[in-house]
């Protein structure tokens, strides 16, 4: 007996016939588009307003997100919440999601350590993100960190060089990328404050693009 059914290679096999946030969320619960469905507790789908003018895209759910089934609710999410408030963006008026919808991790002792998703996993999961974009149609799309930025803007994209810039893209009227809030948490003590301030500045620029 096999414990798991094999993955199909793409989330496209699991898309619902009609696209809406509720139908997508329900369908994504059963996704076996890639092998990560075996690793995570549950699919962590995006969350927020269907009419959200701003969509924020992270990398993948972390430990807390995996347990709670909601994006950006752990330490990085708390920092994001604070930065959004400081930048004048109401999180309840955004849509928040991830490039990959399952938590990828490896055990270290009792802890589950985050592992970066592969390009194949990002590609397999992409149909969910495309469907979220098709339904929400955000005016501004913000990639948080290199993984989301490269998935959405191309593998050549360099957040270190191009953060805060507006990137011409068919994905939304305004598209930009900044660092991932986890990078601020990992920054050296003497650099963390400056990293945070620069992150808030990037989000302030986003705030000017929405009514």
Residues that bind ligand SF4 in the complex, under the rule CB under 6 A: 11, 28, 31-34, 36-37, 43, 100-102, 124-125, 128
Which of ligand URA, ligand SF4, none lies near 31, with the C-beta cut-off 5 to 8 A by kind? ligand SF4
**CB nearer ligand URA, residue 65 or residue 132:** 65
- Residues 6 or more apart in contact with residue 33 via CB below 8 angstroms: 7, 8, 9, 10, 11, 12, 13, 14, 124, 125, 127
Q: Which residues of 39-74 are buried (b: 16+ CB within 10 A; e: fewer)?
A: ebebbbbbbbbeebbbbbbbbbbbbbbbbebbbbbb
Least distance to ligand URA, CB of residue 5, Å: 26
Q: How many helices (H) and strands (E) does the chain have?
A: 8, 7
Taking CB atoms, the residue at the shortest distance from ligand URA is: 58
Binding residues for ligand URA, rule: CB under 6 A, are 58-62, 65, 71-72, 74, 76-77, 98, 182
Which of ligand SF4, ligand URA, none does residue 77 bind (CB under 5 to 8 Å by kind)? ligand URA
Residue among 9 and 47 whose Cβ is closer to ligand URA: 47
């Amino acid at each position: 007996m096999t414990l798991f059914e094999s993955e199909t290679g793409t989330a496209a096999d699991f898309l619902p016939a009609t696209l809406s946030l509720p139908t997508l969320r329900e369908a994504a619960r059963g996704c076996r588009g890639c092998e990560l469905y075996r690793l995570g507790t549950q699919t962590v789908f995006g969350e927020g307003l269907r009419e959200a003018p701003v969509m924020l895209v992270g990398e993948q759910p972390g430990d807390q997100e995996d347990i709670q089934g909601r994006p950006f609710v752990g330490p990085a999410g708390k920092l994001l919440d604070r930065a959004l408030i400081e930048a004048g963006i109401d999180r309840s008026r955004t849509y928040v999601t991830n490039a990959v919808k399952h938590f990828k991790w490896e055990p270290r002792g009792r802890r589950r350590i985050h592992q970066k998703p592969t390009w194949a996993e990002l590609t397999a999961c992409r149909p969910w993100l495309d469907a979220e974009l098709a339904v929400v149609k955000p005016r501004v799309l913000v990639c948080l960190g290199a993984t989301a930025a490269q998935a959405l803007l191309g593998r050549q994209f360099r957040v270190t060089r191009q953060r805060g810039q507006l990137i011409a893209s068919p994905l939304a009227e305004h598209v930009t990328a900044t660092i991932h809030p986890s990078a601020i948490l990992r920054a050296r003590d003497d650099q963390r404050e400056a990293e945070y301030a620069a992150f808030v500045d990037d989000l302030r620029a986003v705030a000017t693009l929405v009514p």
